[in-house]
Amino acid sequence: MTEGGVQYSKIAEIKGPLVIVDDVENAAFDELVEIETREGERRLGKVLEVGNGKAIVQVFEGTTGLSISGTNAKFVGKVMEMPVSKEVLGRVFDGLGRPKDGLPDPIADKFIDINGEPMNPEQREYPKDFIQTGVSVIDGMITLVRGQKLPIFSGSGMSHNLLAAQIARQASVVGTQDDFAVVFAAIGVQYSEAEYFRRSLEESGALKRSVLFLNLADDPAIERIITPRVALTVAEYLAFDLGMHVLVILTDMTNYAEALREISAAREEVPGRKGYPGYLYTDLSTIYERAGKLNGKKGSVTQVPILSMPSDDITHPIPDLTGYITEGQIVLGRDLFRQGVYPPVNILMSLSRLMKDGIGEGSTRADHGEISNQNYDAYSRAQEVRALAGIVGKAGLTEIDLKYMDVGDVFEKEFLSQATDENRTIDETLSILWKVVSKLPKNELTKVKDKFVEQYYQEK
């Protein structure tokens, strides 16, 4: 990085969120820039491109009100850094990492580049430890493990924010005394939602072990580029410097991608699918790949990014590219949501690729994998039977078909449905899974070992 602090006053052009500064001699890619308006207001930005005496600066707080004359750009000589210390726990910051709770800046233990350091692939440790979210459908059938990145694919208006707040409040690591923390980054959310997240964590006592980054819908869109990065910087510090297990919840990543598209359009880059830049995949991976565990380090960073799929379209570039990078997905279903089921998780479209390594004897319970598979199988069959009943009517169904229909209903009413403040232990979750399949005769339970059937099958 070059020696910083020089202020340039030749602004060549202001285009969307970009400011083009002329006659710049010593600027570096990603360098932090302070833009000073004619009125003395200061805004932050970063260098996107340098060359031919020009620097293209992306202004995080937007360029509204800036004019070519009277605007100065000060190149700070360093990249954007986040001050970190244990004191960030229990604090609320804005999307750029500035305190939003009326308290002073945290006394920093370190200043860390918000772009993070790439994890050495050879140093990565395979994630295999269970995280209990207290949400039955996740713990029982789409289990989250420490160091995993498991996105929630939702749609507009669905209850993903309720679910995110519930996970943030309830998540814990079981069977260890290690510290656990939640880093919550709200990207482009409404004020009421941000307030809900804050109040929800405060009232449940979970704020003490949480860090909140709130970028509101009326904050400049460009700020959203930074929010997940400052959140992950704090998470990495808590995990790898302080040895904590950190769950990072990023909601809503669609807003992040929209901001990326806005910058790309302003830079006149060749658009890719639906106008998103061609490097959307690479860019998303610089965020998602910051999850994991490292050999020889105690802590872990687990990510639950939440994205609302435009028009509930799972083939949309954002969920599509996210799915390539992450290790499974939790899909919320519009039909279940309309029926009033909470959380409306469409179990048949959801999957946790690392689940098998985080469950079973020594982690959760020996029968976990098998009872989960049995329920998946039974619910899938129940859906087929429901479709059949729609054509031939209930009268045309066999006795066993009717039992599967019953299983489907019980699955949705008792297993899937859960109050927003209901924190179920893994034993309670597994017990409900057994209750659901106990609606079937024993000989239908082909995915579970007999010894488990004998032990857990619930006779009428």
Partner 1 sequence: MESSSALETTIDKILDQTQKNILSSINLALTDAQKTLDNAIPRLEQEYDKIISDGKKEADKIQKQIVGSSDLEARNKHLLALEKAVENVFTKALEQIANAQRNGDYANLIKSLLEKSTNILGTTQVIVYTNSKDKDLVKSTLSQFSGAELSAETIDCLGGVIVKSKDGAMTFDNTIDARIERLKPLIRKEIASKFGVGN
Question: With binding defined as CB under 8 A, does residue 218 bind partner 1?
Answer: no
Shortest Cβ distance from residue 349 to partner 1 (Å)?
31
Burial zone of 172 (CB within 10 Å; 0-12 exposed, 13-18 middle, 19+ buried)? middle
Residues numbered 326-345 forming contacts with partner 1, rule: CB under 8 A? none
Q: Would you give the binding string for partner 1 spanning residues 264-293, x where CB under 8 A is met? A: ------------------------------
* Near partner 1 by CB under 8 A: residue from 423, 435, 447, 457: 423
Shortest Cβ distance from residue 72 to partner 1 (Å)?
7
Question: With binding defined as CB under 8 A, does residue 97 bind partner 1?
Answer: no
* Near partner 1 by CB under 8 A: residue from 1, 30, 48, 204: 204
Pick the stretch among 142-150, 202-210, 230-238, 393-401 that binds partner 1 (CB under 8 A). Answer: 202-210
Question: With binding defined as CB under 8 A, does residue 85 bind partner 1?
Answer: yes
Amino acid found at 364: T
How far apart, in whole angstroms, are the C-alpha atoms of residue 74 and residue 60? 14
Contact 162, 420 (CB under 8 A): yes
* # residues contacting partner 1 (CB under 8 A): 32
Positive or negative torsion for Cα 310, 233, 3, 60: positive
* Near partner 1 by CB under 8 A: residue from 20, 171, 189, 207: 207
Nearest-10 Cα torsion for 124, 130, 131, 135 = 140
Nearer to partner 1, 81 or 236 (CB): 81
Specify the residue for token string 């493990």. 145
Helix 191-203 to helix 160-170 angle (10° resolution) is 20
Q: Which of 47, 12, 43 is nearest to 26 (CA)?
A: 47
Contact 239, 231 (CB under 8 A): no
Nearer to partner 1, 103 or 348 (CB): 103
HEC per residue, 306-326: EEEEHHHCCCCHHHHHHHHHC
* Near partner 1 by CB under 8 A: residue from 3, 268, 335, 454: 3
* Near partner 1 by CB under 8 A: residue from 30, 49, 87, 289: 87
> Where do contacts with partner 1 occur on this chain (CB under 8 A)?
3, 5-10, 22-23, 25-26, 72, 83, 85, 87, 90, 103-105, 107-109, 111, 202-208, 421, 423
